[in-house]
Amino acid sequence: MPEPSLGPPRILPRSEHSISRAHISKSALNVLYGLHKAGYEACLVGGGVRDLLLGVTPKDFDIATSALPEQVRATFRNSRLIGRRFRLAHVHFGPDIVEVATYRASHDKAEDEADARLDGDRILRDNVYGTREEDVIRRDFTVNALYYRIEDFSLIDHVGALEDIDKRRLRTIGDPEARYREDPVRMLRAVRLAAKLELTIEPATEAPLFELGYLLETVPQARLFDETVKLLLSGHGIRSYEQLSRYRLLDYLFPVESAALAPERDRLIRAALTNTDQRVAAGLPVTPAFLIAVLLWEPLQEAMAHQLVRGVSEHDALIKAQEDVLRTQNDLLAVPKRFTLPAAEIWSLQSRLQRRRQPDRLLGHPRFRAAFDFLALRAQSEPDLQSVVNFWAARQEGLDLPIEAETDGESPDGALPRRRRRRRGRRRGAQGASAPPVAADV
């Protein structure tokens, strides 16, 4: 693919842009100054620069430099080199890690074939080093191709990024289809940036998204999972979901058909993602396990129905359905067991919650709260479950709500729910034993 040509860069001095060192992490500044002092050009680049200009607090700061990876390693004793596909350095400052990448160049400038490997159009190894001018055209989107140079605090724009940021527009550098074929994850990144920053994907950049989803099948599973987590659990999940469905990219991540998604399933997913976005905004923890349970709930029900018509017991049908659904999921996007196992527990607790037996024992289950939240989400589209939700909500408050209670939370005769009385253990002689501990609410 011919590389896009560059005109003279637009360079803004410190007085003409809003980026201040006060908003850059101390660790990133230490790396920038350390490289500059060692005689290398060093620039803050990528999402950190973009977010600062958009008024968003960056999650991390990436640095691009003229120094080779080994030279970065020699400059910082607290660094280590990582990656084979894309060789770079991580500089460690306690829990903070600053990523440092050497300027990249076009593959046709490779002196060693091992430094630049392609599989068709897809880049397998990208370790051909060059200048800043060569590096910029190797980047994905214009908004990620601004350079903040530490030696004079200037902002350097080679590709019209400042205008795109001003217009809140997402545009690839070079031919969009070729960029997506080089690295299919860029399609997910386009969706994520548009959702996170509320950018409009310009038509030429958007058009291939409708056609090239199948390329995601070539992406390593671990990388695909990481990108999916960023899409759905970073506070903009509902917008990401809408975009993934629009471009039918969701079909290559989960066992769904975006064009024929059942309304009930769509409502459940939207409710879960809205709740997740609210938790992220409030600074509360979120986990992929809960979202996996939501996204795969309807396929699980269908798989379980197939088992039940064969005369299998409900317990065995659930176990077999879980195995089938998770196997199908892992063919698309492998989810680590540390998330699928909790998701399976959330599923198995649904029938137990609906039976409402042994409530104190269930209240002490480590997945009770997640399973209850899942039940409450289901009740939004399954009104018959509301009395079950009310029952467990009351039990968490220490109230006895009759199983026959109506959805308004009152007992049949209109009396208020009774608060449970704690039983005291019998005394054994003068040194009576204390009452057994009551399971804490989860």
The domain total for the chain is 3
Q: Do both 304 and 386 map to the same domain? A: yes
Q: Do both 250 and 301 map to the same domain? A: no
Predicted confidence at residue 87, as pLDDT, reads 87
Predicted confidence at residue 389, as pLDDT, reads 96
pLDDT in tens, 216-241: 999 998 899 999 999 999 999 999 99
The CA distance from 199 to 408, in Å, is: 43
Scanning 282-383, the segments in alpha helix (DSSP H) are 288-295, 297-308, 314-332, 337-355, 359-363, 368-379
CATH number at residue 179: 1.10.3090.10
Residue that is last in its domain, among 364, 382, 397: 397
Q: Do both 205 and 256 map to the same domain? A: yes
51 is catalytic: no
Q: Do both 136 and 18 map to the same domain? A: yes
Has residue 426 been placed in a domain? no
Q: Do both 181 and 160 map to the same domain? A: no
pLDDT in tens, 41-80: 999 999 999 999 998 889 899 999 999 999 999 999 999 9
Radius of gyration in angstroms for the set of CA atoms belonging to the chain, rounded to a whole number: 27
Q: Do both 292 and 241 map to the same domain? A: no
Q: Domain limits at 322?
A: 288-397
What average pLDDT score do residues 377-401 get? 91
Q: Do both 393 and 313 map to the same domain? A: yes
CATH number at residue 85: 3.30.460.10
Catalytic residue among 126, 135, 140, 251: 140
Residue that is last in its domain, among 99, 133, 167: 167
Half-sphere exposure of 91 (CA within 13 A, CB side): 27
Q: Do both 208 and 61 map to the same domain? A: no
Catalytic residue among 60, 121, 183, 266: 60
Residue that is last in its domain, among 209, 235, 269: 269
Q: Do both 134 and 38 map to the same domain? A: yes
Residue 288 pLDDT exceeds 80 = yes
Q: Tokens in use for 421?
A: 């009385």
Q: Do both 4 and 149 map to the same domain? A: yes
413 is catalytic: no
Q: Do both 324 and 249 map to the same domain? A: no
Residue 30 pLDDT exceeds 50 = yes
pLDDT in tens, 307-364: 999 999 999 999 999 999 999 999 999 999 999 999 999 999 999 999 999 999 999 9
251 is catalytic: no
Catalytic residue among 62, 126, 251, 277: 62
